Amino acid sequence: MDVVEQALARRAKQNDVHAFAQLVELYKDRIVSFLYRLTGNREDARDLAQDVFLRLYNNLHTYDSSLRFSPWLYRIAQNIAIDFLRRKKNIVYLDEPLGEFDDQAWQLEDDEPWPDEVVEFKDLQSALEQAMARLNPMYRSVLVLRFAEEMSYEDIAKVLNLPQTTVKTRLHRAREALRRLLIERGYFEDSQRGEKDGLR
């Protein structure tokens, strides 16, 4: 996929409108999902995604086509999201419906869970969404890139323009901050359970 994306980006850089449209089509859902996880609001995420692709179009001439395209695009999205959150003073949105992440990353794998399991899961999901919204944006970003976008440390470092050691440190601190917020809500009081769930 990287080779295809780089080829499309090279063509788009040479003013190939069709290639640019293909890039947008490839990434639009992923970018909206990424922005939603950072902002906590679906409408804001959609609006910001338009800004991301506009900035992409205006800055394609600066793209180094010898490098992977996706970290460069996510860096644009990250910068736009952080600017937005600074302007909004990190307002927390708690009125979004449950279970509407674009790629359903947090949904149960079982096809037919018991009703009490669904309620328990939705409670945890809600607590997780609210805890993520309370995190400092730099911590929220590194968690989303690592666990939702499944990026490598190397790619996260490129997106955030940080050394990999700093990425690892931020990820550790972000996990700890998220774990503390969930403990405040009554989750993961047992340290072993926190370890089991990947929060330590």
54, HSE (Cβ side, Cα atoms, 13 Å): 7
- For residue 129, what are the contacts with CB-CB under 8 A and spacing of at least 6? 40, 96, 98
Q: 174 exposed, middle or buried (CB, 10 Å; 0-12, 13-18, 19+)?
A: buried
Q: Quick one: pLDDT at residue 101?
A: 38
DSSP letters spanning 149-194: S---HHHHHHHHT--HHHHHHHHHHHHHHHHHHHHHTT---SHHHH
Q: Quick one: pLDDT at residue 108?
A: 35
Q: Quick one: pLDDT at residue 164?
A: 93
Architecture of domain 2-196: Orthogonal Bundle (1.10)
pTM over 0.85: no
Question: Which residues does the chain have with pLDDT short of 50?
Answer: 90-119, 190-197, 200
4: which 2 tokens? 């295809």
Q: What is the C-alpha to C-alpha distance for residues 74 and 70, in angstroms, rounded to an integer? A: 6
Q: Quick one: pLDDT at residue 40?
A: 86
What backbone phi and psi angles, to 5 degrees, belong to 133? -65, -25
Place of tokens 């970290």: 71
**Whether 143 contacts 153, CB under 8 Å:** no
Q: What is the C-alpha to C-alpha distance for residues 23 and 28, in angstroms, rounded to an integer? A: 8
Q: Quick one: pLDDT at residue 48?
A: 95
Q: Quick one: pLDDT at residue 34?
A: 93
Q: Quick one: pLDDT at residue 189?
A: 58
Q: What is the C-alpha to C-alpha distance for residues 24 and 29, in angstroms, rounded to an integer? A: 9
Q: Quick one: pLDDT at residue 114?
A: 45
Strand residues in 30-95 grouped as ranges (E):
none
191: which 2 tokens? 């340290």
128: which 2 tokens? 């997780």
103: DSSP letter:
T
Q: What is the C-alpha to C-alpha distance for residues 113 and 108, in angstroms, rounded to an integer? A: 8
